[in-house]
Amino acid sequence: MNYTIKRENNYLIVSVVGEVDISLTDSLRQDVDRALTDYAVNRLVFDLTKVDFVDSAGLGVILGRYKKVAAGGGKVYLVGAKPQVKKVLDLSGLPRLMEMYPSVNILKDKIG
């Protein structure tokens, strides 16, 4: 497993290491969905600080969790994307749906 999921205050932080690709997406999707239900939070943070690559399957997981969280009135945040990952995110259009921040700490200062 190349990720951790933890609850902090009233949001969930998903920290991924390495590549967010098809080899990871099924387990990531299931684990994030389970954690969202178990912790009953409506804010989800994808910490991409240690991510080197995201493919279309990874983008699909992020978008799918966005739809789920937004349907419940929540928000999804993307933080710490390296330039090459940010470029893929920008091309996908995800930053039009989700706020992006340079680090988890800056986001925490913003949302509490």
How many folded domains does the chain comprise?
1
Percent helix, strand and coil across the chain, each to the nearest 5: 50, 30, 20
Where is 58: in which H helix or E strand? helix 56-71
Q: How long a stretch of residues is the chain?
A: 112
Cα separation, 45 vs 23, whole angstroms: 21
pTM: 0.95
CA distance linking residue 88 with residue 83, whole number of Å? 9
Supply the CATH number for residue 66's domain: 3.30.750.24
pLDDT digits (tens, 9 = 90+) for 14-27: 999 999 999 999 99
User: Is 21 within 8 Å of 57 (Cβ atoms)?
Assistant: yes
Average pLDDT score over residue span 81-101 = 97
Structural domain range at position 42:
3-111
